[in-house]
Amino acid sequence: MNTNLHGKLICCLVMLLALNTVQAQIKGNPRMKKTPSAQPAASKSFSPLSKDLISLYQSRNPRTMARTAKPVFQNNGLNKFIRITGDRVLLDVTVRGDEQKAKSDLQKLGFITSAVYGKIISGSLPINTLPQLETSASLKFARPAYKPLRVSQPFHDQTTSGHNSKPSPVISQGDTAQRSFIARKKYHVDGKGVKVGVMSDSYNSLGGAAKGVSGGELPGPGNPFNYKKPVQIIKDDSSGTDEGRAMAEIVHDVAPGAELAFSTANGGQAAFAQNIVNLSNVGCKVITDDVIYFAEPFFQDGIIAQAVDRVKKRGVSYFSAAGNTSVRSYESAYRPTKFAPFGPDAGTAHNFSGAGDPPRYFQPIFIPSGSTFITSFQWDQPFYSASNGEDSATTDFDIYLLNDTGAIVAAGGSDNLASGDPIELFGYQNTDTVNQTFYLAILKFTGPDVSRLKYIFYGDGAFYLTNPSIPGILAPALVGHAKADGAIATGAAFYLQTPAYGTDTAVIESYSSVGGVANYFTASGQRISPLVRKKPEIVAPDGVNTSFFDPFGNGDISEDSDKYPNFFGTSAAAPHA
């Protein structure tokens, strides 16, 4: 490698880690004011329904509360991600045995199937029918098909105007930053002959697509620049923010001659996986997406990653947003203890301290006022739902969030032996008017010791820089299908901090997720030596203009001279690539 180039790469990496470290931690060494004790919130659920589904049913049927005696947390940060339409809730159901028989059994309960992929069936069920799932022989486990995390924020609309006879479309500055405009001019290529598939929440939920076509932002009948073939819609979502349309505008800026297709990534993991295949089936040779499901495996390729690899074998180039979680992750060897903070029936605590330091059973976490803190916690055992039922978790862990007085305010406490998946999810919303310190505790409920623990937190929150330090904080956070062998994970660099705009080397955004998370299992669940894929493979521009999409709600940024909103995040980078 060229010595100068190698030096620049090292400098860039150091800068990236420094920026991410600043964003993900704060100084302090807080301690809990009161020692926790046994409490009802630490009670274990042995239902094949997740706690969020149990709580949802209880909220609609309050008379069952006393009988079931399950804790319901008041500030559940995952509630806003549960998809409820009328009296139905969207589910990801992991099934036993034959998938088609399971599908038939579920339909007898009123289940409407949207997709089947591997051992996961995505679809909706009447909320009042949820208890009947517990007696279904086909059911392994059911959880809400939480709305996937998009790596940007909602927008507000801004209209365009012009005085020319032909409209002047809004062109992404990323086209200049990555010099694709030079490639079009020099090599006379504009994407013609290639079909590009885009996946996000929605394309035309807000009804602005026709205006985009007439303004030259998108291809279709009425496009003033003769790009007449319309975007092919495989499946849209009526409740989205049209982030997919913003991504499609970027693709059209970079490769205006390319055909476009869109399918939502919403609807559950099986629906997302199947829609990847569906885009390939209609001829897409390039596909890009910008979402992640909270329940995607960290240490194994889940069904969405498997779908990516499937279309890759067909010759598809798959570009996936790396994510905006930087190094907001904890990853460490499991350090078992005999300490049982909530009594002998709730399990024993993991020790967060390093060798030679006093034991620490409660890890301090900073959560700002008004913020939502969502955690996906996993350990190194295979997922039943990813392994096609060939292997599964044999250890049951739980994770708890406690306030300063030792009270449990949120928890992930499902029965992992029942679900077969080594994962706990929980969310918490700090509704207080002040920033607060909370504490995480990880307890092993039953099963053999494992080697590795990892959690990622989404939304707002930060690690404390404690003394002594907690080993394992600020770990890589690029996980899920972007880590698939067949995916090209795409990080982000602000377009004004690229060589085309005056910098020697592109500066990676501080929030762009860092790779380095190993796979410990094959897709079918066999343990392997740690496999670390080099992720992200590339970086592309973000912070660019579209005609309407405002991901941060701030309108136009002051750094550019136009009036159009700027689209930040790896969501904007992936369609440039």
Looking at residue 350, the DSSP 8-state letter turns out to be B
CATH 3.30.70.80 domain locations along the chain? 43-147
- At residue 323, the 3 state secondary structure works out as coil
Q: Which of 3, 127, 24 lies closest to 475, judged by CA? A: 24
Q: Which residues of 7-33 are buried (b: 16+ CB within 10 A; e: fewer)?
A: eeeeebeeebeebbbeebbeeeeeebe
- DSSP states along 467-525: SS--TTBS-----GGGGSTTEEEEEEEEGGGSGGGT-SSPPBPTTSPP--PPEEE-TTS
Write the CB contacts of 56 (distance below 8 Å, at least 6 apart in sequence). 82, 84, 89, 127, 130, 144
Pick from 474, 476, 505, 511: nearest CA to 492 = 511
CA gap 347, 340 in Å, rounded: 6
Count of other CB atoms within 10 angstroms of residue 224:
14
**Helix locations, 355-466, DSSP H:** 416-419
Q: Cα–chain-centroid distance for residue 197?
A: 19
Q: Which of 538, 532, 542, 541 is closest to 490 using CA atoms?
A: 538
- C-alpha of 533 from chain center: 19
538: number of Cβ within 10 Å:
16
Q: Give me the pLDDT at residue 153, please.
A: 34
Tell the burial category of 577 from Cβ atoms under 10 Å away from its Cβ (0-12, 13-18, 19+).
Answer: buried
At 440, which helix (H) or strand (E)?
A: strand 436-446
Residue 110 buriedness (CB in 10 A; 0-12 / 13-18 / 19+): middle
C-alpha pair distances (Å), 382 with each of 81, 243, 394, 507: 25, 33, 9, 37
Q: How confident is the model at residue 202, as a pLDDT?
A: 97
- Looking at the domain that runs over 1-42+328-475, which CATH code has it been given? 2.60.120.380
| Alpha carbon distance 545, 259 (integer Å) | 21
Tokens 């897409």 appear where? 284
- Give the relative orientation of helices 269-281 and 303-312 as an angle to the nearest 10 degrees: 10
pLDDT by 10-residue block (mean), the chain, 577 residues:
38 40 73 85 83 91 53 80 96 96 96 97 97 93 94 39 59 96 96 98 96 97 97 96 97 98 98 98 98 98 98 98 96 98 95 96 96 96 95 97 95 95 96 95 98 94 94 98 98 96 95 97 98 98 94 81 92 97
User: How many CB atoms sit inside 10 A of residue 37's CB?
Assistant: 11
Alpha-carbon distance of 137 to 65, in angstroms, equals 25
**Is-contact 197 263, C-beta < 8 A?**
yes
Category of 298 on φ-ψ map: left (φ > 0), alpha (ψ -120 to 50) or beta: alpha
Place of tokens 């990892």: 454
Residue 75 pLDDT: 87
- Give the helix ranges, DSSP H, for 134-242: 174-177, 180-187, 209-214
CATH number assigned to the domain covering 43-147: 3.30.70.80
Q: Are 487 and 311 in contact (CB under 8 A)?
A: no
CA dist., res. 230 & res. 220, Å (int) = 4
**Torsion, CA 129, CA 133, CA 135, CA 139, rounded to 10:** 160
- What residues contact residue 360 under an 8 Å CB cut-off, 6+ apart? 351, 352, 353, 466, 470
Return the SS3 of 96.
coil
What secondary structure does DSSP assign to 213-280, as a single string?
HHTTSS-STT-TTS--PPPEEEE--TTS--HHHHHHHHHHHH-TTSEEEEEES-S-HHHHHHHHHHHH
Give the pLDDT of residue 61.
83
Checking DSSP bridges between strand 195-200 and strand 286-289, what pairing results, if any?
A: parallel
Distances from the Cα of 95 to the Cα of 51, 91, 380, 386, 450, angstroms: 18, 12, 22, 12, 25
Is 574 strand, coil or helix?
helix
Separation CA 129–CA 396 (nearest Å): 27
φ and ψ of 34, to 5 deg:
-135, 135
Predicted local distance difference test score (pLDDT) of residue 3: 39
The pLDDT tens digits for 388-442 are 989 999 999 999 999 999 999 999 999 999 999 999 999 999 999 999 999 999 9
pLDDT at position 6 is 37
Task: Give every CB contact of residue 295 below 8 A, 6+ residues apart in sequence.
Answer: 92, 143, 146, 269, 302, 376, 421, 423, 425
- Residue 45 is predicted with a pLDDT of 78
Q: Alpha-carbon torsion 58, 59, 63, 66, what sign? A: positive
Longest Cα–Cα distance of the chain, Å, equals 77
Q: 174-325+488-502+540-576 sits in which CATH class?
A: alpha beta
Q: Where in the chain is the domain with CATH 3.40.50.200?
A: 174-325+488-502+540-576
Q: Which of 548, 531, 153, 513 is nearest to 320 (CA)?
A: 513
- For residue 24 the two structure tokens come to 């993900």
DSSP of 449-482, one letter per residue? --SEEEEEEEES-EEEE-SS--TTBS-----GGG
SS (H, E, C) 4-72: HHHHHHHHHHHHHHHHHHHHHEEECCCCCCCCCCCCHHHCCCCCCECHHHHHHHHHHCHHHHHHHCCCC
